Amino acid sequence: MKTQILKSLQTIILLLLLTAFFSSTNTKAEEKQTHRQTKKTYIIHMDKSTMPATFSDHLNWFDSSLKSASATAEILYTYKHVVHGFSTRLTPQEAETLANQPGILSVTPELRYKLHTTRTPQFLGLDKSTTLLPASQQQSQVIIGVLDTGVWPELKSLDDTGLGPVPATWKGECEVGSNMNSSHCNRKLVGARFFSKGYESALGPVDLSTESKSARDDEGHGSHTLTTAAGSVVPEASFFGLASGTARGMAPQARVAVYKVCWLGGCFSSDIAAGIDKAIEDGVNVLSMSIGGSLLEYYRDIIAIGTFSATSHGILVSMSAGNGGPSSSTLSNVAPWITTVGAGTLDRDFPAYITLGNGKTYTGASLYSGKPLPDSPLPLVYAGNASNSSVGYLCLQDSLIPEKVSGKIVICERGGNPRVEKGLVVKLAGGAGMILANNEAYGEELVADPHLLPAASLGQKSSQILKSYVSSSVNPTAKIAFVGTHLEVQPSPVVAAFSSRGPNALTPKILKPDLIAPGVNILAGWTGAVGPTGLTADDRHVSFNIISGTSMSCPHVSGLAAIVKGAHPQWSPAAIRSALMTTAYTSYKNGAAIEDVATGQPATPFDYGAGHVNPVAALDPGLVYDADVEDYLGFFCALNYTSFQIKLAARRDFTCDPKREYRVEDFNYPSFAVALETASGIGGGSDAPHTVKYSRVLTNVGAPGTYKASVVPLGDSNVKIVVEPGTLSFAQEYEKKSYTVSFTYTSKPSGTSSFARLEWTDGKHRVASPIAFSWT
């Protein structure tokens, strides 16, 4: 008895000691976490013109200002171009104190942004148009800066064979870091930098066991976007034999520079700002950013502020529209100085045939390349019936009951977690295969994935039939057969379901996205650090991977912009964007409108903007809608920004002229977003006509000629459209002519929006602008 009591006392003492130890450990961890949470990163924008004469150096002024608010805070980055200022870690109280110091324009909390996650040159007509493309030596003078997860420098897509010396305008460098040295750069990869201070301040030091503290890409996304934009020609490229052929970026002769601002924990705005700042200083010509986040007023958005600075330095900025589709008003990166790119499909897919026990076969898509399933049918089960979770149908981690899925093909529904992760969940539970079923949000979109088990995605209609078959059959079975690569798929392109849509929630009178480009099942370079799925369990290694997203469409346009820049080095960023937009197409060769895969119906300018990019036509657009910094300052005035807000957004003193009328309707954009009020809102009764006028200026960038205007209604708009004058004659290059478009209406049509298309043509060129009407 005494022995038992003694053992019990020993056990209690041991538990108390362990509790005290873990309590102490947890307390220290909590204190560390609390300390990290109470301090956060802020970007400090200072008024350059108010530096006291007692300071001979701006850095000393920055430091003195910071020390007045916090004795312990240190400067993370100093900025020269994005803002005049610095970033630092502060408590909310310290940030408030600093904001009240003289010379401080703004103290902005850091935000975390996310990434918008071969056949393409042929699909875009680049392989048949070498005589129309600019000479390679012109293209090789263009440098594309890519802000992303870095680069895998050993890729064959970065071979510099045949390239001449690095352009004399280049001022960048190849920074040394873990697993990366200066010798990794060459005449193709001319620069590589990394920015981790914001990331490390928020989440702690970079874990060198999982990612490199350097410009080396351990995630894959950056290598893919960079080689899509400007990868060198690589023969016999493929993904496990799929999509085989010659891989090349859009501008294979252009140079690339890498700015690693995204890490496994995300992309932090202080790092992004530092990356943009250095890219401007280094001398890039095009900036490609497949990054997005929340919509903020332009003077509060560090990405909008930074890209405005880049544009003012003559740099075209291409950014992804986001992957929030098919819901409306889901766009990112809507500033009018940014080229906002949505996603469409190629004429290539990777079919998989799903045959049910009743003999019916349906076509899905897959990049699975491993051991196939047996020819004989396997039992089929719906994940929702093989889980104790209320959302078991999504195949989330540890949600499936092994006894109910072992040896079976499991139907998982899309959403909630990554598609490839669903396959891993099924595999770990003992499932033999997976069918990924689309719901209404994704429609008939088929995104192929490199699953770790035999799996295929299936469109919504077929998925509904599949689920009905399972629920009505006593012993449902299925087979999945993988058939490789299929070319010349029609119709193509179609707008991807995931591609974010308009209207523009921040500035409704600016139509976004600007255009679409290939973004579904894109083959491009990949990191050697992780497998094609990015999952820890994936130990495969590839030089090329196939992935989808507006992250993929953005670098297509970045590379195509580099081609136009090479052909017309004197053109402004706005002129290049205009050329890409006004030459885009909105219908197939048979005249039918480009489809939206989410609905199976004709897509609209809220889905594709000006249309699908047509790079060969963009080289000779005839006319362009140009804009400079003064136009953007006028745009801010049209938004009723104060001089202080303009200074935050544009880094310059500017006062709107009180005698001038500023209107967003008159901002010289290549598209029209027309907000119309209903009869009850315009007064005068339902039959009283109401007119809204928009003005534009066209610049001739071709031979002398006369252009005539025409308007093509797209559906029932009940709006009379008049262009005045209807004819514009240009006698010389760079001559400018203005015109006005009047929109007159009396009543609202059915629905909340309608569309039209304005075209100017001289018989050779077709300068087209989409018109989107929205009713309020």
Catalytic-residue membership of 148: yes
- The DSSP code sequence of 657-704 is -TTS---GGGS--SSEEEEE--HHHH-S-TT--EEEEEEEEEEE-SSS
User: Smallest Cα–Cα separation from 522: which of 114, 113, 116?
Assistant: 116
Cβ distance 66 to 669 under 8 Å?
A: no
In the chain, the largest separation of any two C-alpha atoms, in whole Å, equals 112
d(CA 633, CA 649): 9
Which candidate in 45, 81, 184, 221 is catalytic?
Answer: 221
Catalytic-residue membership of 578: no
Give SS3 for 90. strand
List all residues 6 or more positions away from 640 whose beta carbon is below 8 Å from its beta carbon: none
Cβ distance 321 to 340 under 8 Å?
A: yes
d(CA 223, CA 461): 36
List all residues 6 or more positions away from 263 whose beta carbon is below 8 Å from its beta carbon: 149, 196, 199, 206, 211
- The DSSP code sequence of 225-279 is HHHHHHPPPEEEEEETTEEEEEE--SSTTSEEEEEE-EETTEEEHHHHHHHHHHH
Which candidate in 65, 70, 81, 148 is catalytic?
Answer: 148
The 8-class DSSP code of residue 174 comes to B
Q: Which amino acid is at 343?
A: A
d(CA 408, CA 391): 19
List all residues 6 or more positions away from 312 whose beta carbon is below 8 Å from its beta carbon: 629, 650
Paired with 696 in beta bridges are 739
d(CA 393, CA 379): 17
- The DSSP code sequence of 270-309 is HHHHHHHHHHHHHT-SEEEE-EE-----GGG-HHHHHHHH
Give the burial class of 16: count Cβ atoms within 10 A of its Cβ; 0-12 exposed, 13-18 middle, 19 or more buried: exposed
d(CA 268, CA 293): 11
d(CA 318, CA 147): 11
Paired with 292 in beta bridges are 114
Which candidate in 551, 553, 572, 671 is catalytic?
Answer: 551
The 8-class DSSP code of residue 585 comes to B
Tokens of 491: 């119709």
At how many degrees (to 10) do helices 92-99 and 58-69 cross?
Answer: 130
d(CA 412, CA 391): 10
Residues marked as catalytic: 148, 221, 551
